[in-house]
Amino acid sequence: MVRKQIEARGIKSPRVLAAFRQVPRHLFVSEALRDQAYGDYPLPIGEQQTISQPFIVAEMTQALDLGEDDRVLEIGTGSGYQAAILAQIVFRVYTIERKHSLYLQTRNLFDKLHYHNIVMKYADGTKGWQDESPFDGIIVTAGAPQIPDVLIDQLGEGGRLVVPVGNQHTQELIKIFRDGQNIRQTNLGGCRFVKLVGKHGWKDA
C-alpha cells in the first residue's frame, strides 16, 4: 500500500511514510471489510461516516508539515486511523468526535493499541478545543461549508490548518498557514468528504 498508493503518488515525507508503515490499517475497519482495508478508497465505518482512502490521509498529513514536538488537533476522529497516523509523528494528538457510538468504539481501540499520546473528547468539533490551544496543526476530516474562523484562532504562530471546503458535490482541500496576523491560503486540489456538522459547519438535518 505505501509504495504503490502513497509514495508513488508524490508523498515524500519520511515521517509520513514511516507512520503508514507502522499503523495497521485493517484494525480500524470492521472485520467484514478487513480484506479491503488496504485498497485506495474510503470504507464505511457506521453512523454514515467513512475511513478516508490512504492517499488522502497521507496528503493531508504531509501538508501539515509536522515535527516530533508538535501538538495537533483533529476534528472528526471517526475510525481513529488518521489520529493513529498523527500519533506516530507528533508529541500529542487531540481529537474530537461528535458521534457517541464512534467515540466509545474508537476510544476503546486507542486504549487497546496503547496510543497514550492521543487525547480524545466527545463534543462538537467545529468549536475546536479552546482549553488546549494554541495548536501547531489542525486537521479537519469532514467537508466544511467555509473555513471555520474559530479554528484559525486556535492556531499558534506558524500553525497550519488543513480542511476540505465546499458542498456535498464539490470540495477543495485548503491549507491555511498562520504567520502572525497574516493568513496564507493554498488550494491543494479537489477532494470529497462527508459533511462537517456542528455550530461552525453544516447544521443538523
> Catalytic residue at 133?
no
Residue 85 in this model has a pLDDT that exceeds 50? yes
In the chain, what are the domains?
Answer: 2-191 (3.40.50.150)
Q: Give residue 70's Cα distance to chain centre.
A: 15
Give the pLDDT confidence of 92-146 residue by residue, as tens digits. 999 999 999 999 999 999 999 999 999 999 999 999 999 999 999 999 999 999 9
* pLDDT on residue 194: 86
Task: Specify whether the CB–CB gap between 176 and 152 falls below 8 A.
Answer: yes
Q: Which three cell numbers stand for residue 13?
A: 515525507
From residue 23, alpha-carbon distances to 14, 131, 195, 200 in Å are 15, 29, 26, 31
Choice among 13, 30, 52, 133 that is catalytic? 52
* pLDDT on residue 205: 47
Give the pLDDT confidence of 152-194 residue by residue, as tens digits. 999 999 999 999 999 877 899 999 999 888 899 999 998 888 8
Give the pLDDT confidence of 15-70 residue by residue, as tens digits. 999 999 999 999 999 999 999 999 989 999 988 889 999 999 999 999 999 999 99
Q: How many other β-carbons are positioned within 10 Å of the β-carbon of residue 168?
A: 12
H-helix segments, 88-127 = 100-112
Q: In 3D, which of 91, 102, 94 has the Cα closest to residue 28?
A: 102
